[in-house]
Structures are given as C-alpha cells and as structure tokens.
Structure 1
Amino acid sequence: MVIESNAKINIGLNIIERLPNGYHNLDMTMIPISLADKLTIDFKNKKGKLKITSNIESIPTDESNILYKVYKRFYERLQVESEEVSIYLEKHIPHEAGLGGGSSNGGFFLRELNKFHNLPFTDEELMDIGKKVGADIPFFIKNKPCRVQGIGEKLIEIENNLDCDIILIKPKFGVSTKEAYEMYGKLTNKKFANIDKIVEALKENNLKEVITYNENMLEQGLLISNREIQNFREKSYNMGEVNLFMSGSGSCYYILCEKEVTSKCIDILLKTFKDCYITRCNFL
C-alpha cells in the first residue's frame, strides 16, 4: 500500500516555560498542509523485522530512524512478536525544516500498524505510544488543525477556514531543534503570539489578523546568534513588507498568500532566494 504522510506548519508558537526534565511547555497551533512524503508499506504476513529504504541516501535506515522507533514501541505495547514489514520512504518534506516530516512518518506508520492488527489501540493509546518517540507524533495521529499545549501532548481541535495559499521557502541549511531551544534560552525580550486571537481568526477566515498576531519564539532566539538565519532575514527585508514566518524550529519559512497574487509572489521569491527550495501548497 502507498500512503501520504503530510507536513504541518505552526501559526503562532509560544514557549511558556522550561520544565525540570528539559522539555518545554508550549502553546501553539499546528495545521496540516498538503506537502507530503510517500510511504510504500509492505506487510509480509510473517514474523520478522522492519526493513527501511529511501530515495534519499542520507536518510538512516537503521534503528535510529523514527519509523523503526515507533515500530519497536508498537510491538512492545502490543506484546506480540513483530511482523516483517518493508517500507520505502519517498521524501519530499525537507529535513530540519520545522515541518514535522519525521514525526509525520512515525505517526502515519503507527496508524497503519494499528490497522493491520485490527485496531487493538484507540487513537489516544497510539498518541501515548507516539509521544514516547517524538513530541509531535500525537498531532499526526489526529492530523487535524489543533491548538497544541504542554510538550505537544495536549491537542485541542480548532477550525481552520483560512482560504489562502501557503508558499514554503526552505534554505539549504537546516536548524536542529536542540539549537533552536538553546538560543531561545538566551532571549531577554520575548514577543508572544496571541494564540487566542489566531484561533479565532482561523475560524473566521481573517488572514489579516492571523498575520498580525503570529509570532514564533524559536525564531526570535535564532535571530540572536544564527548567522544563516540572520542573513536569510536580511534578504527578506529587501522584498518590502511581507508576511514571512518560520515554522516550528525552522529553517523553513512560509508566506500566507492571497490566491490571486500567489504566482507573482513566487516569482519575486525565486529572484530573491535563488538557492532555496520554494513550493506552493494548501491547508488540508
């Protein structure tokens, strides 16, 4: 079987506090988007192990891959011998982008494992399995627009009626989540997103207010000391007033664009960011 494993963007990302265990208490929205990887999953109908292959040579195919980690956790929880499964992972979601590519792969694979075994676990139980591997995996089990709190485990479904295009701009360089949180710790002046207002504006299809109240605290930290992010932002200022926002821990940025000006905006971006991956996508 072939399934799509879609990305997400964050519209508004606040860090409330650092927890004693090193994680962070967050308040943000996560919205699924149409950019997606493809997973070709083949259940062999016999006991065995997981084999992973990919179109990207740098993708790990051993036990460090998130697909293997959720596979292992699933069978530990189910308490049966694992099935032999092969997965071909066709990557389209950029790595170290803040788009949730790995977590999406893990979440969608968990769902397929559960279906193969005739749904032994509820979605809530799958989320509990997933959060032990990655904080964003529970979101992809649900895969609906959500306000996300805690370390990523508290999901409140919201309405997203925003009728616009999304343009993604991914620089060649990546940003590790660890680096983004470390830089956030050095922030002295923090700008908070108004998540309440964003949730209301998404429901009412009010693009202007979504843009007005959007902030990303992880980007604020990176702008202090990450020279590549600084250079990227400096280039963006040459475009004039544009609603450019970082998703998650970066390095991917997005623009929420009225559909009638999308083509013009992409033309400008291609001239400004010649070394970036630029693509248009939609909300799911």
Structure 2
Amino acid sequence: MPVLEIKARAKLNLTLDVLGRRPDGFHDLRMVMQSVELCDTIRLETGTGRPLRMTSNLGFLPCNEKNLAAAAALRLMEAVGADCGGLAIDLKKRVPVCAGMAGGSADAAAVLRGLNALLGLGLSRERLEEIGAQVGSDVPYCVRGGTVLAEGRGERLTDLPCLPECHAVLCKPGFSISTPELFGRIDAVRLRCRPDTAGLLSALRAGDLSGVARRMYNVFENVLPPRRGAEVTAIKRVLIQHGALGASMSGTGPTVFGLFDSREAAQRAYAELRENHRESFLTEIAGPEQL
C-alpha cells in the first residue's frame, strides 16, 4: 500500500491588516505571511480498502471530516473524481492548536500536496489552492508557503522575495483567544495603528531583514482584552531584550514571535520563555513548498 510522509509547516504573519467587513460577512485582509520549519507530520496511506480513517497524537482533535486534514482529502477526491482505494491519515501535531499559526490549515494543505504526489494526479499548485480555498481561508497560502502577500479572505496570493535567512522564536501563552470575538472588536473601533505593509515590502525587495522586522505589526494587538494584551506585550519585551530585531503576534493570536539574526541570541530568548511557557519554540524560516 503506497505510503507518504509529509510536513505541514506553520505560518507567521509578518503583517496583518483588516481593511473592512465584506457584504458576505467575512473581512478583507492584507497580510504578509511567512512559513517556518516548525511543523506537524502527516503520514498518508492509500489502498487500505477501508473508508477514510484518521488518527492523531492529540486525543481532543476530531478525526473525521471536522478535521481540516480529513476535509481536504474528501474535497480533493470529490473535485477530481479520484479514488484512493481507501485512505488512512495519521497526524502528529507539534504546531500548537488555536495559536494563530494556521496549524489546521497547514495540515489540510499537506494532505492536498501529499495526495497529489501519492496518486500521481499532476494537479498544478493553482488548482490545489483552488480546492484548498473550499476548505479554509488559510489553506491556499499553506499549499504555497514561503513569503507571500495574501489579500481578500487570504486566498489572493502574490509571491514575494524570500525573507532573508534568520531565526524565529515562537511563544504561545497559556490561553486561547476567540477569533470571532476579536473580529467583532475590530468592527467596533477605528484603528489608529496599521502596519507599514508597503515599507515592509520594500525592505523585502532590498533584502533588509532589520527593515522587515521593524515594520512587523498585527492590528489585532489593538483590540486584545487588557489582561491578554499585557501578556502578549510581556513576551514581546523578553524577545526584544534578548536581541530580536522585531516582535509581533501572529494571526488572531495568541502566539508571539521574534526574528533574530543571531542564533545565540535566539537560543537565550527561547530558554527564558521556555521556563514559563511550555509551548515555546526555536525554529528557522522556510521557503516555498514543493509539489
């Protein structure tokens, strides 16, 4: 029975701007996205002769079509009329759940890329992204990976020059944040601080890591509940004190990350944060995904 193991890399938001609410109830976004080497691992096995079966190392995750990885497999089969002859998905989670790093979307994208290769479907990246958009707004980006400008709901993607090589320290504090609640808060205020996305794009084109890091910003930091906002600020302070070139929150949070040009400085920041925050990680920047 054919088997393939594939990585599902997490993403970070170098910038995140909410431009407004759309008539369909979603929001128009403008974000610079970056993938990192921190990843889940997915094992795909076709030809099992049984209906879709999914397992995970986290007992609280759904293992049916409510899981984006399983949903992506079903949507791909439906879209192309393919038959796996039975499929088993085994998911090893390492990316924190509900953390603003698109862990579930990355799993879905990895399943799409993996089945495309395993079954020899020959689908283009663009076709996989179209199918992914039917599963979740971040899935098209996760199919592509690398350094990308994402607009609309996140499905309109423009490749950008690669972020210069650097190290990233990620820290998820011990709480979750309601995404619908934060979007509701965004709708109720007039944002006064927005990311300098144009300046960050110019810095990327110039290969200026410091210029990119200085311009990282996420508008959801404006509307965090006070206590949660204080915790995010405290983590950012640790990162900056240890030499991060810049620090920001990813997605709707609560994960905070910093970019470093020195691995030694990144290791010191990671070591301090790990003392109080179990879900802290030291990782590297990743390039575009390969089909």
Report the TM-score, using the length of structure 1 for normalisation: 0.90
Distance 2:67 2:238 in 1: 39
8 Å CA contact retained: 1:163, 1:205: no
What count of residue pairs does the alignment treat as equivalent?
Answer: 279
Match of 2:23 in 1: 20
Distance 2:145 2:220 in 1: 23
Distance 1:162 1:45, change over 3 A: same
- Residue 119 of structure 1 aligns with an amino acid whose one-letter code is L
1:77-124 residue CA offsets vs partner (Å, 9 max, x unmatched): 123455311111000000011111100110110112222332253221
More divergent stretch after superposition (227-236 vs 122-131): 227-236
More divergent stretch after superposition (118-127 vs 142-151): 118-127
Match of 1:34 in 2: 37
1:163 match: secondary structure: coil
More divergent stretch after superposition (93-102 vs 237-246): 237-246
Match of 2:267 among 253, 263, 279: 263
Match of 1:227 in 2: 227
1:83 match: secondary structure: coil
Distance 1:112 1:163 in 2: 27
Distance 1:118 1:81, change over 3 A: closer
1:251 match: secondary structure: coil
Distance 1:276 1:87 in 2: 27
Distance 1:239 1:50, change over 3 A: closer
Distance 1:198 1:239, change over 3 A: closer
Match of 2:289 in 1: none
**Which consecutive unaligned segments of at least 5 residues does structure 2 have?**
287-291
Match of 2:161 in 1: 159
Shift of 1:201: 1.5
Shift of 1:161: 3.8
| Percentage identity across paired residues of the two chains | 26
Shift of 1:129: 1.0
8 Å CA contact retained: 2:147, 2:163: no
Shift of 1:218: 1.8
Match of 2:252 in 1: 249
1:141 lines up with 2:140 in the alignment: no
Distance 1:148 1:239 in 2: 26
Match of 1:185 in 2: 187
8 Å CA contact retained: 1:161, 1:204: no
Report the TM-score, using the length of structure 2 for normalisation: 0.88
Distance 1:84 1:210, change over 3 A: same
1:95 lines up with 2:93 in the alignment: no
More divergent stretch after superposition (182-191 vs 60-69): 182-191
Match of 2:14 among 5, 11, 16: 11
Match of 2:115 in 1: 113
1:279 lines up with 2:281 in the alignment: yes
1:225-270 residue CA offsets vs partner (Å, 9 max, x unmatched): 2633334425655787663310111110001122142233234434
8 Å CA contact retained: 1:186, 1:221: no
Distance 1:282 1:261, change over 3 A: same
8 Å CA contact retained: 2:35, 2:285: yes
Q: CA RMSD in A?
A: 2.1
8 Å CA contact retained: 1:49, 1:82: no
Distance 2:15 2:240 in 1: 22
8 Å CA contact retained: 1:180, 1:219: no
More divergent stretch after superposition (59-68 vs 206-215): 206-215
- Residue 117 of structure 1 aligns with an amino acid whose one-letter code is L
Match of 1:78 in 2: 80
- Residue 43 of structure 1 aligns with an amino acid whose one-letter code is T
1:196-236 residue CA offsets vs partner (Å, 9 max, x unmatched): 211222333323322332210122222xx263333442565
More divergent stretch after superposition (175-184 vs 21-30): 175-184
2:143 match: secondary structure: helix
